Each structure stands twice: as structure tokens, then as C-alpha cells.
Amino acid sequence: MGMNRRTILGLAAGMAGAGTCVVATPLAAARAGPVSALGVDAADFGVRPGRTSDQSAAVQRAIERTAATGTPLAFAPGVYRVSGLKLPSGAHLVAPRGACRLAFSGGSSLLSAEHAERITLSGLTIDGGKKNLPEKRGLVHLEHVDQLKVSDCEITASGGHGLLFIAVSGEVSGNAITDTTDVALQSFNGNGLLIARNVIQRAGNNGIQLIRWELGDDSTLVVDNRITEVLNRSGGNGQYGNAINAFRGANVIVRGNRIDRCTFSGVRGNSASNIQIVGNTITEAGETAIYSEFSFEGAVIANNIVDGAQTGVSVTNFNEGGRIATVQGNVVRNLSPRPSNPDPEFLHGIGLYVEADTAVTGNVVERATAVGIGVGWGRYLRDVVVSGNVVRDAGIGIGVSVAEGASTALIASNVITGSRRGAIVGMERRLAVTGDLSRDGAASFPNLTITGNRIG
């Protein structure tokens, strides 16, 4: 049966009348199979699964016709070889989950859109076949798109980024993004994205990366994702190899994610003010598991679990304006030097490290080979409270800067046991320069108040 605009309008009206699906006769249901309840069958536009030839032109016509009425375009199970498909406003591509594979036949992207809204992708497998993409392109590449929804899709084997967004709002949820050469999900200048319940495996550079070209509100929520085996193909000293990376974006929330085996950091906030990093579980991080660094103001790092890293949590770069944080209720253990960052200028094997205008309370640190809790670096120390923490089996329990220019720190009511080089020790950068201040007292250092700690 041929399709025209009147037929599509009739189908759309029928779907609206039925409430949730097209009511098909037994004969039509048998012909259309499982796609009959999803939308207009792509076969009605001459699109057929399994053809060896490229079907981009036919699929593009089907997308444009159905998008004009907001009608879902449904693909029957099978493989469709396509590339360069453009998604206009209202485009809605759907398939039985995992049954339809859009196989990339080459070019700059498989799916793309510019200045569009109300785009939906659901149930599709989008396969890049490891074909190279141009630099700064995604297998799915969307610019200035509002009300996006990508759900229950698999994006795999991209020869560049998996999903690349510029100024996009909407939701990316319940997808699997696997084996990308570059970043699995790259967002520039996000506009309140929700990135939730996705599974990301074997990303070549970063898992989820949020970048703004200038400091500004991003408000992206990154929640309940599973991210494993993040590599660092492009090298560097921390730009790549991170499960979740937020750069310059304010008001980002990273919550409840499960992260395992990332080459550098599990969660890295760089110049990201008002960031919340809460309730994540990170295992086997190659460098610092959780970072808040450079010119940020405001960070909450709470109730995370870190098991295996070079440093558990680092709140740093007061020299760049990085300040104001709460580090609370985290469980951090098994911290030791890792081969990814052997820089001899820094200590390796630190549980928690902070510098300025920060409260460190109610954390548990166990087995940190260098320092359980590090407070300040040289003169970069101001207004830090370390209270009510438990530190067990560390090289130094709490190391605090006593270098010239270091400002105020209060270290009170902590339990510190099994520290091999002292419970509380004065530091000048990476060097221990005092005895155990928990025994000898801090009278020689007017910037320090040390009181009420229990040492074992």
C-alpha cells in the first residue's frame, strides 16, 4: 500500500483515538509484525530490512513525512544500512527494543539534527561499525535541539563520539553506549540535560563529558548510570580517561552512579561551581577517584564509596580560586600509587585532600599508604575543619600544612589508629617536617588548633 499525507494523518488520528496504539486487523498485524503498535511501518515507504544496498534516501523520506505530523516511524526487526540521516522537528524513530540495527555506511554522522525540537529515538541499535568519524562529530550528532528523548537504544562501535550534543535539552535514559573510539556521551553547553540509567562500557577517552565554552549554568543531572572500563586513548594528564567529567558547567549533580576501572577519575569537576557529587560508588580508579579542582566555588562531596584509587577525594587548586566545599560521610579505602600518574612532585596514596574553606566531617578512611587526610599544600591552606572522621591504617593519619603562609585549620575529635609515621604531622608540600603533633602539640604553629582527637 502506498502512503500519502492523507494516509498518515488518518493513521495519526486513529492512534489518538485508540489512546495508545493503532488497532490493526489480524491480516495487517501479521504483515506488520511487532511494529504495528509502535507507529507507521517504515516498510510503507519502501524501506526493507536486510538489503545490502544503502537505504538512506528512502529512510530520509519516511522521516520527513512522519515528522511533519509527529507520527512515530517504526522499523521492523532487521538491519538497515544508512548514513547522513537528518532529523527535523517532530522526528520520532522507534523499533522493538534491540531488534532493529541501523548500520552506518560512512560519512560524518549516522543521525544528525540542527535547530530542532521534540526528537525521539527509542529501541534502536545504532551501529557505527568502527568507521572513522571526522573530529568533533558523533555517530548521533545534535545541535541546538530542545525536548530530546533518547531511550532504550544501543549506540555501539562509533569511530568517534557516540552521542555528541551542542546546546541540547532533554533526556538520555536507559541506553547502552559501548565501544566508542572517543567519548561515549559528549555535551557542549548543555541546557538542563537528564542523563540517567545508562550503561557505558569501553569508552575510548571519557564516559560522560560535560563542557561549556565559557563559565555558566549547565544544570545537567547525571544519575544512576553504570560506567566501566574508560580508557585514555588521547593521553594527557587527566583530560581523558574519566568516567564523568564536568568542565566550566555550574549546578551539575552527579548522583548514584556505579563506576569501575577508569584510567583517571571516576568523577572530575573542573571549574564546576555548585557541583554535587553524591552517593556514587567508584572502584579501581587509576588516579583520583573524585576531583573538584581549579576555579570552582562550591562543591558537595558526600556519601560516596571509593575502593581502590591513587587518591580518594581531592578538593584543590586554591591557587586558581578553588574554594568552598563539604566533604562528608564518604567511605574511602585502599589508596596507593598507580602507574597512570607517577609524578614525583605529589604524594600518592591519599584518602581525602582539601585546601580552602572546607569542612571534612564524618568520613572513614582506611589503608592510605601516604596520608589519610591531607590538609593544605604549602601556603595554600585556609579555613579548614577536620572533625569527627575515622582514619585507620595510614602512613600519616592527618597531614596538615605548616609552611609559611598557610592559614587556619582546626583538627578535632577524630579517631586515628594504626598510623605508621604519626597520627597528625606537619607538612611542607610532600615532606613531613614535624613530629607527631597529636603528642607534641601545635603550639609552634599558630595557624593550627588540634584538640580532642583519639589516637590508637
Q: What is the pLDDT along the chain (456 residues), one digit of tens a residue?
A: 344 443 444 444 443 333 333 333 333 333 345 687 899 999 999 999 999 999 999 999 999 999 999 999 999 999 999 999 999 999 999 999 999 999 999 999 999 999 999 999 999 999 999 999 999 999 999 999 999 999 999 999 999 999 999 999 999 999 999 999 999 999 999 999 999 999 999 999 999 999 999 999 999 999 999 999 999 999 888 899 999 999 999 999 999 999 999 999 999 999 999 999 999 999 999 999 999 999 999 999 999 999 999 999 999 999 999 999 999 999 999 999 877 666 665 688 999 999 999 999 999 999 999 999 999 999 999 999 999 999 999 999 999 999 999 999 999 999 999 999 999 999 999 999 999 999 888 888 999 999 999 999
The per-residue pLDDT for 185 is 98
Yes or no: say if 42 and 64 are a contact pair by the CB < 8 Å rule: no
Which value, to the nearest 10 degrees, does the dihedral of the CA atoms of residues 156, 160, 162, 165 take?
-170
The per-residue pLDDT for 340 is 65
* Coil, helix or strand at residue 350: strand
Start-to-end Cα distance in the chain: 83
* Coil, helix or strand at residue 64: helix
The per-residue pLDDT for 75 is 97
pTM for this one?
0.91
How does strand 78-82 pair with strand 111-117? unpaired
The type of residue at 280 is: N
* Coil, helix or strand at residue 346: coil
For residue 390, give the H/E element and its range. Answer: strand 390-401
Rounded (to 5) percent helix, strand, coil in the chain:
10, 50, 40
The partner residues of 176 in beta bridges, in order of sequence, read 154, 199
The per-residue pLDDT for 13 is 41
The per-residue pLDDT for 139 is 98
The per-residue pLDDT for 15 is 39
The per-residue pLDDT for 7 is 42
The partner residues of 61 in beta bridges, in order of sequence, read none
The per-residue pLDDT for 34 is 62
Cell 494516509 found at: 7
Which value, to the nearest 10 degrees, does the dihedral of the CA atoms of residues 54, 55, 61, 64 take?
-90
Give the list of residues 6+ apart from residue 268 with CB closer than 8 angstroms, or none. Answer: 238, 242, 244, 245, 246, 288, 290, 291, 293
Q: Report d(CA 147, CA 237) in Å as an integer.
A: 36
Burial of 332 (0-12, 13-18, 19+ CB in 10 A): buried
